[in-house]
Amino acid sequence: MYTWNPRDQMTKAEKFTGTSDTYAGKVEYEYCLSCDGALSKRREYSTSQSGNIIEERRYEYDGLNLLRVDQRVDTDGDGVIEAGETAWRHVEVNSHRPGALGAELGKRAYLYANGQSTTPSSTTDYAYVYDPVGNVWVILSDMGEEVYWFSQDAFGNELSISPFAGTSWSTARNAGITEHQTGKWIDPHYAE
């Protein structure tokens, strides 16, 4: 389901897992028209209780490049984000090559051991290496070690072999790496 403003610009996209008249299982995307139509907020609703937000993220840009992702904190730990819970925490901070769209140079990913905490239990810095076409090829740790790799055939299908050390792309999401081909962010809920 899509929402448009009077100037015929999309302001919201919603994906329902149930019927369109219930919020149960819905994922909602809001777009910032003053940010060239970029994603500004993402809300995920509970699959069991209609109207309960279980995750909310906001996105900050430098032009079209994603600079930072923040997550709203469920401070009371009940699994639902209520209106009174206003604390936010960093999920990731990105740096890009000057003057290049989507050419991410590095990322700092924040991991939290406690769901209610606004203080990260660890942070990890990553650097990105691209293939000649512009796809993310290898993710390096801050020590220069090959941590994750993505190898594909000519049609974009992931290959199980690679000349790199580290682990395959399928495990990267658990560490906060959400970029895929051409350095663009991919949401697993919307790709289904």
108-136: per-residue pLDDT in tens? 988 888 878 888 988 989 888 887 777 77
- In this model, does residue 89 exceed pLDDT 90? yes
Q: What is the pLDDT of residues 147-156, one digit of tens each?
A: 888 877 777 6
3 state SS of 175: helix
Q: Supply the pLDDT for residue 191.
A: 47
Report the largest interatomic distance among the alpha carbons of the chain, rounded to a whole angstrom: 52
Q: What is the pTM of this model?
A: 0.70
- In this model, does residue 21 exceed pLDDT 80? no
Select from 23, 120, 38, 3 the least CA-distant residue to 73.
Answer: 120
Q: Supply the pLDDT for residue 87.
A: 92
**Residue 30 backbone phi and psi in degrees, to 5:** -110, 145
Q: Supply the pLDDT for residue 72.
A: 94
For 51, 53, 151, 188, the CA distances from 82, given in Å and listed in that order, are: 10, 8, 42, 24
Q: What is the pLDDT of residues 36-83, one digit of tens each?
A: 778 889 999 888 777 789 999 999 988 778 889 999 999 888 888 988
Q: Supply the pLDDT for residue 38.
A: 81
- Region 139-143: mean pLDDT is 87
- Region 134-147: mean pLDDT is 84
* Residue that wins the pLDDT comparison between 70 and 33: 70
Q: Supply the pLDDT for residue 90.
A: 93
Q: Supply the pLDDT for residue 192.
A: 46
Q: What is the pLDDT of residues 159-180, one digit of tens each?
A: 777 777 777 777 777 777 777 6
Q: What is the pLDDT of residues 6-19, one digit of tens each?
A: 888 888 888 877 65
The rounded radius of gyration (Å) of the Cα atoms in the chain is 18
**3-state secondary structure string, 127-164?**
EEEECCCCCEEEEEECCCCEEEECCECCCCCECCCCCC
* Residue that wins the pLDDT comparison between 1 and 98: 1
